[in-house]
Structure 1
Amino acid sequence: MLTLICRHFIAQSSYYFALIAIALLVMMPTFSFVPEGEHLAQIRQRDFITIHTRNTPTTYYQGRHGPTGFEYELMRRFADSLGVSLNLNADHHPESVLPAVREEGDLGAAALPLLTDTPGIHFTRPIIQMQPLVVYRRGLNGIATPSDLVGLSLGTLSGAGTSNALRTLQRDHPELSWNESHELEVAELLAQVEDGPLDAAVIFDHQFRINRLFFPNVERGFTLGDPLSMAWAVPSGRGLGLLNAANSFLEDLQQTGILDQLVERYFGHDDYLEYVGTRTFLTHLDARLPRFTDEFKQAAKTTGFDWKLLAAVGYQESHLDPDAVSPTGVRGLMMLTRPTAKEMGIENRRDPAQSIDGGSRYLRSVMDRLPDEITGDDRLYMAMAAYNVGLGHLYDARDIAEMRGGNPNLWADVREALPLLQQREWHSKTRHGYARGGEPVIYVRNIRRYYEMIEYVERSRQQFFQLEQTPVNANPLLMFEPVPPLD
């Protein structure tokens, strides 16, 4: 009897197994078994990779000398490693990047937090750590602990990962509330803290370091929760070839130290545009300027600028250091890029005479390209701003000034418009997109200050020299107008 039951069970099982096998065969066409390298092969065949990113200073933007940004540098190098060109879609908010990658893109690189169990997405290995940070408006006292955030008007970006830290904090502080923006970017969020609609915000530490100079009324608060990992996103279900290639590329950058160098270049110099103290400036002026005075005077003859103004530009660019290298890789005393040096016929950017000559002539060429309607000091200040941020972004700022009812030919109005290039509301209406628009404002302000100080020092030296040339038997007091005593 037992034998018969076993035989019946085996027969029945075989029958059901057969049905399952047939069902699987029928269903197989509905599954997509993608070869591991098919997606990567498609990219190489079409000869470009489409990457979805954000128009921000920490990811990608059009800088003074062309495209720049930390993740742009990684993206460009990755495309080169694949032997393809780079096709960027930078019109994204953090929340819109992953849907675009799932639907149509090859890769997402937009300061994305590595979040496990994200549907339709594979993340690469971590790139850098991103530490959530509380920032608040200067004047608000006692913002030192999480409980101090209760009752404040608090904001953050939706989809950026910072809201995760707030949700974790909310478990211990149920009364905590905040606003998440689906439209703003980091600079706009900081502007809202500075101007008052928000009391505080949660962003990432590296984002604050690269933006803080433009928002002097925003204070660093305290870190919030554990760091998140920045990673790239690739669509799942299309093979692992691209993911493996990206991981291999990032691992190689890490092993060779190149990644650390890029982190230092883009995030390790948050104060390089700041106005240095008078003591430091005068020390540099005394030790360095005499070495290059003749070169500045010669360049002034060639270009028609005051040599002291050119010296002020040189100090702003490099602190008069012919071996200087900027965070974005430009070199020399006047910080010329290779294309600019080539345009100006300069062979050695580190040669101070060539650098001063090339930088001065480039400033003149920028000034000559401005519209004739811009005159006087307005023309000079706009030329200096364009030397820093590029003519394209300056023209965008002039357009914004006009949109706001200002005069695009007056520096005062363009100066107010330039920082708006950091806000999506405005840069989305321009031809060249996002720019660190606050930077040229500080740049021009610094040069004007340096110029005034160089003028003062030179005038004082001339007066001292005249005193030294006074005959020994002469009375120096005769050189001054006497002040009579009070009656």
Structure 2
Amino acid sequence: MLRSVTGLLLVLTVAACSEPELPNHLRSVKEAGKLTAGIEYAPSRYEYGPQGPRGFDYTLIAGFADYLGVELALIPYYDDHSLNAALAGSDIDLIVSSDAGSQALSADMVSGPAYAGTAWAFSARLDDSLRSAVFDYFATLRQQRVVAKMQNEWLTPATPLQEADIPAFILAAAGKITALKEQFSAYDSDANWTLLAAFAWQLNQWEDAGETAGAVEQLLILHEKIPSRIPAAERMMMTLAAWRTGLTHLEDCRELTSRQGGNNDRWLDVKQRYPLLAVKDVYRHLDYGYADGADTVRFTENIQQYATTLETLSEKD
């Protein structure tokens, strides 16, 4: 009897040792040396600034990659639906999206930490090891009150955008028209080169060619999200508005334009409604709530003025 029990224990031990190791999401990320995350593009959360990618959510996900000791690969998305759908694939480790996305989690997704209008989510097909590491990371941040400090830094109202400084722009563009035309005509887009150059000037005054290229590429990716039926010039202005405030707020404004009898494919009609996104009696009836629409209008008008100036300078060059 003793011999049979001993033999059984030996068999079980050998069987346990020979079982294949269960998948471990966290270990896979560390072995690959890379964390791949989908992130929603939105002002102050994840955007391209003069020094490259920046924002509240960006800082947190970059900090998590550092916490794991791996490289961060970010894939931007411009709406919750596309972001959530990306997680169904096998190449995304997690997503960082607005609460609207987290409230619509499918059965294939599990939620992670939520804070200040943002939530992280993971695929339900994978184990909880990476998700647990995220919660540990946030626990450390909260103990140090890092999230609260970052919220004050990133989500407080920014200084109002100034009007276009045309004299300074003309001075900076002097002698560069041919080079600017070559640089910004090289992009595969129906966008006028003057608008792309003006956008880059508004962004960082052409100070960093690498950051400018990255920002323009992101802008053109966003451009593809705007309905192609809209005429090119109108479509580009809507793209710029979406860059400043987010695609979801552009869609809110286009819906509001339609409700009020305007043409939601015409930029002039949509632009007139943008300031209403800051009016409580209006934005509380919209899907994505408040946005500083007046700032968005100023942003697009500045770029339009810079582009018009470039066109005039180009004719004289």
TM-score of the two chains, using structure 2 as the length reference:
0.51
Describe how 1:170-189 pairs up with structure 2 within 5 A. Answer: none
Distance in 2 between residues matched to 1:397 and 1:86, nearest whole Å: 27
Residue 104 (structure 1) aligns with: none
Measured after TM superposition, the shift of residue 410 of structure 1 is: 1.6
Q: CA deviation at 1:414?
A: 1.0
Distance apart, 1:66 and its partner CA: 4.4
Q: Which amino acid aligns with 1:367?
A: H
Separation of aligned partners in 2, 1:360 and 1:65: 18
- 2:213 is equivalent to residue 315 of structure 1: no
Match of 1:85 in 2: 113
> SS in structure 2 opposite 1:369?
coil
Aligned-residue offset at 1:319: 1.5
Q: Which amino acid aligns with 2:268?
A: A
CA distance in structure 2 between the partners assigned to 1:407 and 1:394 by the alignment: 14
Cα offset, 1:451, TM superposition: 0.7
For the pair 1:382 / 2:238, whether they are aligned, the reply is: yes
Counterpart residue number, 1:270: 159
Q: Are 1:413 and 2:269 counterparts?
A: yes
Whole-angstrom distance in 1 between the partners of 2:294 and 2:170: 26
State the SS of the aligned residue for 1:429.
coil
Contact 1:296 1:356 in 2 (8 A): no
C-alpha spacing 1:290/1:376, structure 2 compared with 1 (3 Å): closer
Correspondence 1:284 to 2:284: no
The whole-number CA distance in structure 1 between the counterparts of 2:189 and 2:314 is 21
Matched residue, 1:306: 192
- Report the AA paired with residue 186 of structure 2: Q
Q: Does 1:64 align with 2:39?
A: no
Residues 312-391 of structure 1: matches in 2 within 5 Å?
312-322=198-208, 352=209, 355-391=211-247
Structure 1 distance, partners of 2:300, 2:310, is 15
- In 2, distance between residues paired with 1:73 and 1:279? 34
SS of 1:303's equivalent in the other structure is: coil
Correspondence list, 1:40-439, <5 A: 63-64=42-43, 66=45, 73=56, 85-88=113-116, 249-250=144-145, 270-271=159-160, 273-286=161-174, 293-299=181-187, 302-322=188-208, 352=209, 355-439=211-295
Q: Please, which of 439, 447, 457 is the counterpart of residue 303 of structure 2? A: 447
Q: For 2:217 and 2:153, locate their aligned partners in 1 and report how far apart those are by CA, in whole Å.
A: 31
Q: Is the 8 A contact 2:166 2:306 kept in 1?
A: no
CA offset digits 1:362-382 (Å, max 9, x no partner): 433333332344225322221
SS in 1 for 2:174: helix
Q: How does 1:25-44 map to 2 (within 5 A)?
A: none
Gaps of 5+ in 1: 1-61, 91-244, 323-351, 462-487
Q: CA deviation at 1:395?
A: 0.6
1:283 CA drift (Å): 2.2
Q: Write out per-residue CA displacement over residues 40-88 of structure 1, whole angstroms, 9 at most, x where no aligned residue.
A: xxxxxxxxxxxxxxxxxxxxxx9437479xxx959x97xx89xx82255
Identical pairs, percent: 21
Which is richer in helix?
2
Quote the Cα distance in structure 1 between the aligned partners of 2:258 and 2:273.
9
Shift in Å at residue 265 of structure 1? 6.5
- What secondary structure does 2:263 align onto? coil
CA distance in 2, matches of 1:375, 1:294: 24
Q: From the superposition, tell whether residues 67 and 278 of structure 1 become closer, same or farther in structure 2 (CA, over 3 Å).
A: closer
Offset, 1:288: 6.8
Residue pair 1:303, 1:364 contacting (<8 A) in 2 also: yes
RMSD of aligned Cα (Å): 4.3
8 Å CA contact 1:392, 1:432 repeated in 2: yes
Residues 435-457 of structure 1: per-residue CA shift (max 9 Å, x gap): 22222211211111001111111
CA distance in 2, matches of 1:269, 1:64: 11
Q: Which amino acid aligns with 1:398?
A: R
- Contact 2:42–2:243 at 8 Å: present in 1 too? no
1:295–1:356: 8 Å Cα contact kept in structure 2?
no
Q: Secondary structure at the match of 2:256?
A: helix
User: How many Å apart are 1:305 and its aligned residue?
Assistant: 2.7
Structure 1 residue 296: deviation in Å?
1.7
Q: One-letter code of the match for 2:199?
A: V
2-side partners of 1:293 and 1:444: how far apart?
Answer: 20
Q: Is the 2:191–2:233 contact (alpha carbons within 8 Å) kept by the matching residues of 1?
A: no
Gap change, CA 1:381 and 1:284, over 3 Å in 2? same
SS in structure 2 at match of 1:282: helix
1:138 corresponding residue in structure 2: none
Code of the aligned partner of 1:317 = L
Give the structure, 1 or 2, with the largest relative contact order (CA under 8 Å, sep 6 or more).
2
Instruction: Give the Cα–Cα distance (whole angstroms) in 1 for the partners of residues 181 and 154 of structure 2.
Output: 30
| Cα separation, 2, equivalents of 1:291 and 1:264 | 37
The letter of the residue matching 2:265 is N
Maintained 8 Å contact 1:288/1:320: no
1:409 counterpart SS class = coil
